[in-house]
Amino acid sequence: MTYTLFQMWEDFRQSLIRRHEFYVEQAQKRLLSQFGNIEPEADKAGEEWLEERGRYFDPDRHDEGSFYEAANDVGIEFYGLLSDMRENTRLSVVAGMFHEWDKQLRGWLAREIRHWHHGDVAAAKMWSVNFDQVAELLESLGWPVRTTDYFNKLDACRRVVNVYKHGKGDSLEDLKSRYPEYLPDPFEGSERALSNMEYRDHTHLKVSDDQLQAFSDAIVSFWQNVPGNIYDTQVTAVPGWFEKAIQKDRANLP
């Protein structure tokens, strides 16, 4: 007989997609849209500083030009701080949607395993193995997910999130070698171009609105492409870590 090992109910699939799209839509509307006019806000900050300090201007003691120069510096600083906040907010949105997708995937796998397997070890493993091991399991079920464009985007998203969270480390080096487009040169087009990737670090991490949307589209494509039913006859050789977990559960049976 043929047994269904993993099943993706259509209503559940659509619910996952709706929840994700709601998150992205509301993040754009309630968070990222707040940074749509930072240049006028920076100009206003400089003007307010000049108006406040202008009350103490004494033409006999002060240089008028220095006041305007200081106001300009205030505006530039304000713009830089808002720009940094915008980039961090966008990265936070990316991290939130990736972690939610990751948890939903692991939760679905764990629940489906409990439908046909007795024991807690195998299901619990879904929460402790790394991203590559989860992909390895999916491929052993007859779903060549790592060959898809959307999974490559999810892999890039994971590495971006890791660099955002941890800063310097292995994730940063991986991002440099595999997805350098998320570490753009801040001086590109100028004489100060930082062309050597070696000198870029986590402070150069940046995700554009288009890249955020590409990550979002990859999550939607992933859920759309989860097979409705995965049967035992489709399974080749499962990963060693999963086989050991199954065997451990069997050994624990009374």
Structural domain boundaries in the chain: 8-116+144-225
pLDDT digits (tens, 9 = 90+) for 152-202: 999 999 999 999 999 998 999 999 999 999 999 877 655 555 567 778 899
Taking the C-alpha atoms of residue 193 and residue 199, their distance in angstroms, rounded to an integer, is 11
pLDDT digits (tens, 9 = 90+) for 54-101: 676 666 666 767 778 888 999 999 999 999 999 999 999 999 999 999
Q: What is the mean pLDDT of the chain?
A: 91
Please tell me the predicted confidence (pLDDT) of residue 51: 84
pLDDT at 224 over 90: yes
- What predicted TM-score, i.e. pTM, was given to this entire model? 0.91
Average pLDDT value for residue range 128-135: 96
Taking the C-alpha atoms of residue 99 and residue 122, their distance in angstroms, rounded to an integer, is 21
**Residue 125: both structure tokens together:** 């493993």
Characterize 37-75 residue by residue with b for buried, 16 or more Cβ atoms within 10 angstroms of its Cβ, and e for exposed.
Answer: ebeeebeebbeebbeeeeeeeeeeeeeeeebeeebeebb
